Amino acid sequence: MKAAMFVKPGTVVVAEAPMPTIEKPTDAIVRIIRACVCGSDLWWFRGISQRKANTFVGHEAIGVVEEVGDDVTAIKPGDFVVVPFTHGCGHCAACRAGFDGNCSNQEPGGNGGYQGQYLRYTNADWGLVPIPGSPADYSDDTLNSLLALSDVMATGYHAAASAEVAQGDTAVVMGDGAVGLCGIIAAKLRGAERIIAMSRHEDRQRLAREFGATDIVAERGDDAVKAVMDLTHGDAADAVLECVGTDQAVQTALQLGRPGSLVGRVGVPQNPQTNTTELFWRNIGLRGGAASVTTYDKDLLLDAVLQHVIDPGKVFTKRFDLDHVQEAYEAMDQRTAIKSLLVISQD
């Protein structure tokens, strides 16, 4: 079978890979239909984070189950599924509390290789999210939105859930990448009345408005804080979604909320130290981490896509086949695509 492989910073190739097999009774083998490139993949593509050479890559997909292990009873061959980047067992304390991104029974390092024809998925029984019918039952646009449920939409939702966006709220969303844009969808889905999107790119501002943003702030840092204060007549936001992860973004995010508000963050943090004493005096909370993909999909996101309440698939602005995976990464790296889709199979 064929799969995308990281060679060195800036280079991803399509290589011949061994066909995965059931290794544990909780595994499933999934034939991948669509996959995509994540903003977090750019860290190693750009050489900012280390990655071992000649490793298979990708952690977002939809597909059809080929084979399951003996302990997998909720999923059967032929099932069409969302393949989350998380691998929740469904029964540990984290999963029971709805935080399957921190499942204590996850297999370390078992998340690579979704950008290929077949994948071994661990903790398949609870972790995979069954989609009614088969790929052929869905339009191209809906397939894209279903693919978004494997990470980016659930991650945007985690920002909104961590920030506890509630009915009638004014929410600020920092970051106009695919995750931030999905954060806007999530804030609207949770009933935010006013959604202030921070974006300085016209194409992304357009999509932000289409997803539900009511206001756009193009400024950064202190100017961004001033703009949000002006827009809210000094009241500040009820909830802040931090979908960037840089030090500046976190520091700005922590200035945008009213007392009692939470910053929900999903941008992988780069700066380890935060002055939390200042947060104490302002009663500002900081929360976030890896998304609860399976929980959110099963609870509400899959239904929201199937009922066309949300269209997160619109974040895919360029499409490639597996043979052109290098171009898919380059489009993200050069910001000519908001998010790159990889069509692995037509059915």
Binding site for a copy of itself (CB under 8 A): 93-94, 97-99, 101-102, 104, 162, 232, 234-236, 238, 250, 258-262, 265, 268-269, 271-290, 292
- Give the pair of three-digit tokens for residue 82: 């969302």
In whole angstroms, the minimum distance from the beta carbon of 213 to a copy of itself comes to 21
Closer to a copy of itself by Cβ: residue 201 or 287: 287
Closer to a copy of itself by Cβ: residue 100 or 330: 100
Closer to a copy of itself by Cβ: residue 131 or 290: 290
Contact residues for 129 (Cβ-Cβ < 8 A; gap 6+):
81, 82, 84, 149, 293, 294, 297, 298, 302
Contact 228, 216 (CB under 8 A): no
State the Cα–Cα distance between residues 293 and 65, nearest whole angstrom: 18
In whole angstroms, the minimum distance from the beta carbon of 234 to a copy of itself comes to 8
Closer to a copy of itself by Cβ: residue 96 or 308: 96
Closer to a copy of itself by Cβ: residue 167 or 275: 275
State the Cα–Cα distance between residues 156 and 57, nearest whole angstrom: 22
In whole angstroms, the minimum distance from the beta carbon of 335 to a copy of itself comes to 25
State the Cα–Cα distance between residues 160 and 110, nearest whole angstrom: 27
Closer to a copy of itself by Cβ: residue 133 or 259: 259
Q: Could you give the 3-state DSSP secondary structure of residue 283?
A: coil
In whole angstroms, the minimum distance from the beta carbon of 284 to a copy of itself comes to 8
In whole angstroms, the minimum distance from the beta carbon of 220 to a copy of itself comes to 21
Contact 106, 90 (CB under 8 A): no
β-bridge pairing 118-121 and 129-131: unpaired
Contact 167, 173 (CB under 8 A): no
In whole angstroms, the minimum distance from the beta carbon of 9 to a copy of itself comes to 23
